[in-house]
Amino acid sequence: MLMKTPLRSVLTIAGSDSSGGAGIQADLKTFAAHGCYGASVITALTAQNTQGVHGVHPCPPEFVAQQIHSVLEDLEINAIKTGMLYDVENTKQVVESLKTHYKNKPLPSLVCDPVCVSTSGHTLLHPESVELLIDELFPLATLITPNKAEAELLLSSRNPFADITSLEDMLSATEQLLSFGSAAVLLKGGHITSTMTDVIRISSGHPGINVVRQGLYDENMEILQTGIDVADHPELVVDVLYQSNGKKSLFVMPRVDSTSTHGTGCTLSSAIACELACGLTLEEATKNAAVFTHMGIEAAHPMGKGHGPLNHLHSLTTLKIPQRTLYNPYPFTRMLIQSTAKLWKEYVEHDFVKRLGRGVLEIEAFSHFIRQDYHFLKYYARAYGLLAAKSTSFLGIESSAQAILNILQEIQTHRALCESFCINFQELENTPEATTTTAYGSYLITVGLEGDATKLLVALMACLLGYGEVGLWLTKEASKENSWVVMEGNPYKKWIEDYAGQHYQNAVKIGLETIETLAIADPPSPARLEEWRGVWERCTRLERAFWDMAMDARK
């Protein structure tokens, strides 16, 4: 008999947002997106839209208590999230109801989002309620999730406290907020400007702090950032998690320039509650919830005349490939690279490449490589011919034909380069194919004969993108002070410049656009997507083997 996984139930105690982007509406959407059953207790009704809060009507305190008891007496609740409680009477009823119901049993994970002021400046928590929140509710909480303004308000209620303007201030603030009795504090950094320089400074000064990078480009992804306006020090959003066991974590994500941010705090705290309900640790729950919220902003459709809502249902789309966004224009390719991150790094940063960059690569190794690459490019061009045959549009045929023309131009570059190393055309033609060359070339042709155009293009991309990445990586390293990459006097300088150059990088961009367009136009099933990923991994291994072969030639 098949056993069903028990459905996790999560309760939100919060205000209602008539525009649907925040409050219990955002909470319930988030619960559903996480596969949890959502129950709700309404503390207040609001008249609001994307431009602001126009009115608040609190529920009678006794009715708030009645709602809580009705839910808890009937449902097995695995986590609770509180949002806007509005006034002293309702806050007191929430605290007393929870204490009463869980008097003789453990309280489920409780995430308290201390909603005090709306983005538009409307007061959502009466000042006299702050002390009650701190004294009575926080000690029950697994986690409190204030933003900058809320943290400043909470702290100033006890002692004079300066504005929170830096990561250092955030760390100090979380320590003080933890003294209010919750098991952990997550101070959200959406209203504080941070850069990776700040993160490095903090992590260096606090060796025990855990830095969790999310949504940022990893190493060896230079090709995916061409055409993106990413500054040397891009703005980041850094959330600080401080737990009562002394563990500190920074959750680092790129800042998204978007007006679709209404309900961000509600969504994040609700997502954390869901993750905790499913048994994850607080750090893992926060990590997953931050990614969910970030993607909700990126995938949002502009709505309303002000700050519109997130896309709470982005994770429920049937597409297995993330949507293209301004910051992530090549999500399918990025997914492929990240799925083989270790192997990709071994390919791009191979000892062959490093020695070439330093200008100390043995001539035997480079000579063997360039001869075999000459033969491999014959297979490569023929594979693009097969891709043209599979194309059903003139645009696709033109793209494949242009790739072949680029390869023919690359052959001319090869010949000129070989001549500079005293290898003439006849020697190139007469050099026997190595087993590695034949294995790789034959695999490309085999994939090309199997009928799946996207699968063939995935196979071709490992070579195109890898060499483009190598060129950009070496050039980037060469630009650093006291770099290990030597350009002046390097016998392989021309090779590096060719692959980092505009002509080759244009070919890379065309390849990226083509593969992303194909993948979206013909969405794969999970099995087909895994097949594509397997092809990518195999071709990346074959590329790495090509460098290995060249290094073996030294022997």
pLDDT digits (tens, 9 = 90+) for 340-358: 999 999 999 999 999 999 9
pLDDT for res 1: 35
Which of 45-49, 166-170, 325-329 is the least confident region? 325-329
Find the mean pLDDT for residues 247-271. Answer: 90
Q: Supply the DSSP symbol for 111.
A: E
107-117 tens-digit pLDDT: 999 999 998 76
Find the mean pLDDT for residues 115-141. Answer: 78
pLDDT for res 123: 59
Which two tokens mark 148? Answer: 């900058």
pLDDT for res 2: 41
218-238 tens-digit pLDDT: 778 888 887 665 555 578 999
User: Which residues participate in catalysis according to the annotation?
Assistant: 188, 261, 263-266
Distant-in-sequence, close-in-space partners of 519: CB < 8 Å, separation ≥ 6: 321, 332, 454
- Per-state percent for the chain, helix, strand, coil, to nearest 5: 55, 10, 35
Q: Is 411:374 a contact under the CB 8 Å cutoff?
A: yes
Find the mean pLDDT for residues 511-530. Answer: 88
Q: How big is the CA angle at 167 (ends 162 and 172), to the nearest 5 degrees?
A: 55
Distant-in-sequence, close-in-space partners of 456: CB < 8 Å, separation ≥ 6: 383, 386, 387, 390, 444, 447, 448, 450
Which two tokens mark 139? Answer: 């000690």
Residue entry with tokens 């380069």: 417
Distant-in-sequence, close-in-space partners of 16: CB < 8 Å, separation ≥ 6: 23, 24, 25, 42, 44, 45, 46
pLDDT(125) > 90: no
Q: Is 132:94 a contact under the CB 8 Å cutoff?
A: no
Q: Quick one: what percent of the chain has pLDDT higher than 90? A: 61
With bands split at pLDDT 50, 70 and 90, how would you rate the model's confidence at 10? Answer: very high
Find the mean pLDDT for residues 439-463. Answer: 93
Q: Where in the chain is the domain with CATH 1.20.910.10?
A: 331-552
Q: Quick one: what percent of the chain has pLDDT higher than 70? A: 95
CA distance 543 to 555: 20
pLDDT for res 227: 65
Distances (CA, A) of 118 to 258, 290, 307: 18, 20, 12
464-481 tens-digit pLDDT: 999 999 999 999 999 999
Which two tokens mark 389? Answer: 């045959």
- From 176, 116, 188, 197, select the one nearest 145 (Cα to Cα): 188
392-402 tens-digit pLDDT: 888 888 888 88
Q: How many CA atoms lie within 13 A of 352 on its CB side?
A: 26
Q: Supply the DSSP symbol for 59.
A: P
CA distance 70 to 458: 55
Q: Is 449:480 a contact under the CB 8 Å cutoff?
A: no
pLDDT(127) > 90: no
Q: How many CA atoms lie within 13 A of 313 on its CB side?
A: 9
CA distance 14 to 229: 39
Mean pLDDT of the chain: 89
What Rg value do the Cα atoms of the chain yield, rounded?
29
pLDDT for res 486: 95
pLDDT(150) > 50: yes
The distance of Cα 507 from the centroid of its chain, to the nearest Å, equals 26
pLDDT for res 174: 95
CA distance 544 to 537: 11
Which amino acid makes up residue 298? E
Find the mean pLDDT for residues 511-526. Answer: 87
Could you name the CATH architecture of 9-187+257-299?
3-Layer(aba) Sandwich (3.40)
Could you name the CATH architecture of 331-552?
Up-down Bundle (1.20)
Find the mean pLDDT for residues 49-55. Answer: 88
Which two tokens mark 472? Answer: 């950009």
